[in-house]
Each structure stands twice: as C-alpha cells, then as structure tokens.
Amino acid sequence: ARFLTLTALMVLVMAGCQEPTMSVLDPKGTVAEEQLSLIQLSVYIMTFVCVVVIGIFVYVLIRFRAKPGDNSIPEQVEGNMKLEILWTVIPIILLAIFAVPTVQKTFSLAEEAPAEGEPLRVKVTAHQYWWEFEYPDLGITTAQEMVIPTGERVYLELESKDVIHSFWVPKLAGKQDLVPGRTNTMWLDAKEPGVYAGRCAELCGASHALMNFEVKAQEPQEFEQWVDERQNPSSEPQNAQQEAGKEVFSQNCMSCHAIDGTAFKTKGEEAPNLTGFGHREKIAGLLEFNDKNLEEWLKNPEDVKPGTYMPSFDYLSDEDMDNLKAYLKSLE
C-alpha cells in the first residue's frame, strides 16, 4: 500500500513539475509509447495485487478480531499446502505476464540498423558535459542538437569518451547507457515534428545535471533541406566585423572547435563542432540563445557548467569579444 501511494505520488509530482516537453506520460515516438505501455501494465498488476492483499487483510482483521470478553486461544494452524502453492504460483504467473513483453521489447528496442535500404544512422558520443551527433552516411557532425526526420526509425550507436553517461529523451526513447570502450545500440522515431528535451540520466560529474541536449524532429522534406544546408554550410563572413571575429576565432578557438566548410578542422574530437552555431536553440545546450548568454558562456564557462573543459576567454578585449560573437552568430 505504501508503495502504491508512493508511486501515485511520484506520478503526480513528475507530471506536475516537468517541462511540458519532458513527460514520459505523453509519448511522441514508438519506443516511448511501448515503454509507457509497460509502465501501465506494471501499474495495473501492482494495483490488482494491492487491492486483493489489502482486501483480504481488512476482511481477516474484521472477521477474526477478538470478541469482547472472549479470552480463549483461537485454533492454532501450522502450514497449509494448498495455500502455500497458491501464493507461490500466482506471483509466478503475474511475473511471467510482465516479463514476457518486457524481454521482447528490450530486445526489439536494441535492434541494430538493417544492412539493406538506407537506414538513418547517428553515432552519439557523450563527453563531460556535452553531446556529439555524427551522421556517418551524410558526412555531418553536430553537437547538442540531434536533427531527425519524423516518421522514420533512426538507429543510434552510443559511445562515451570519458565516463558513463545515459541518453534519455523522455518523450521519444531511452534511457540507454553510454559506456567507455563499448558501443550500445538503440533506435527511436518521432511521430510529430517538434523539439524534444533530452537529458543525461547517469550521474557523470559536477555538471551532470546540466548535460542537456535536444532532439529536433522535422518533416522529411525539411530534414532533407537541413542535410543539404549542413553539407554545404555558408560560413564565410559577410562583413568586416564577422571577418575580424573569424580572426579572433582562429587565434583562440580553432585548436578545439571545428567548423565545416572552413579551414577550421580539428575532426571535432576535443570540443563541439560549431557548424550552424547561429541556428542553435541553446548555448552550450543549456542557456537561451542570446547575446548576453553567449558572452557569459565565453567569459565564465566554469560558472555556467562547472567542470567543463571550455577555458575562459575573459581576457579578450571588448572589441574582440563583440567581433567573435558576431562571427559565431553568423555561422549557418
């Protein structure tokens, strides 16, 4: 009973507190739907067990309570084979009812990309504290935002560069661990276009709670357009300020950050690839995208994300800082 009350409370709390884009109870993809159906099945079974057990308990309490003035010792019972078998077999049946679909779904969700056809594959690499999304068949690498087409299975290969992280997009799928030295697989799909919040769901260090990302699901046509833009990025400065900012970038940032379509190529191994940065929804996967936050991130990354490997650039002159911001925002 306590468990049921707690579960009910937790469901209420979870439903009430989370951002609208993060509810497990409002799935927008096949995987999340199947996971919700498992959650519901387990809640039904637990509710049934609780009702039966509490019902018998209350009945026995009332039916066999001591009558006033009756001090006799009740009949002493030792062992009851039929009952013992009954209350062993019923839980086994209940567990089997729950285990069969759970195991089935666990395996089907871990399916790898089929060899034939052209499945969309994304290699997800977790870093302290950011996410890298590489589309090996499309030659695209991005960070913090995974763009996918709606209505199509996307096959993920999950790896970690440092410690164990966990990939979780409550409305679509997850969680799946990213373990150093090992490749895990999963797939997901999105049934409707939208921006779905993602979280790291495994304690991984000081900024674990800030290791956010987003999944942007777009209509297939729009996705094709995005692929085309990313394959032919327009990263050339459009004015003198952006030109000057590019110079600042080359002196301060290019040893870690790559930008496709420019000479800035570090294979994107050390830090997020910044192609299309000007289109990002968030800065560092976290802050609202605006001028003030961009400057805050560049000057005090340690305040924004404790433990980040991004160094502070507060030594830049105001002019250099403005130029750098102008350049970064121009990246499309």
Binding site for ligand CUA (CB under 6 A): 126, 129, 165, 200, 202-204, 208, 211
Please answer whether residues 235 and 262 qualify as being in contact, where contact means their C-beta atoms are separated by less than 8 angstroms: yes
Q: How far is the CB of 305 from ligand CUA (least distance, A)?
A: 11
Name the residue among 292, 296, 297 with its Cα closest to residue 274: 297
Q: What are the CA-CA distances from residue 43 to residues 10, 48, 98, 168 (Å)?
A: 13, 8, 10, 22
DSSP 3-state of 56:
helix
Q: How far is the CB of 173 from ligand CUA (least distance, A)?
A: 17
Q: Which is nearer to ligand CUA, 177 or 322 (CB)?
A: 177
Q: How far is the CB of 127 from ligand CUA (least distance, A)?
A: 8
Give residue for tokens 């990002």.
280
Please answer whether residues 275 and 141 qualify as being in contact, where contact means their C-beta atoms are separated by less than 8 angstroms: yes
Q: Which is nearer to ligand CUA, 170 or 276 (CB)?
A: 170
Q: Which is nearer to ligand CUA, 168 or 264 (CB)?
A: 168
Q: What are phi and psi of 2, to 5 degrees?
A: -60, -40
Q: How far is the CB of 214 from ligand CUA (least distance, A)?
A: 15
Q: Which is nearer to ligand CUA, 122 or 253 (CB)?
A: 122
DSSP 3-state of 64:
coil
Q: Which is nearer to ligand CUA, 166 or 242 (CB)?
A: 166
Q: How far is the CB of 129 from ligand CUA (least distance, A)?
A: 6
Q: What are phi and psi of 62, to 5 degrees?
A: -80, -50
Q: How far is the CB of 331 from ligand CUA (least distance, A)?
A: 26
Q: How many CB atoms lie within 10 A of CB 232?
A: 9
CB-neighbour burial class of residue 98 (10 A; exposed 0-12, middle 13-18, buried 19+): middle
DSSP-derived letter for residue 199 is E
Q: Encoding tokens for residue 264?
A: 């800035």
Q: Which is nearer to ligand CUA, 129 or 135 (CB)?
A: 129
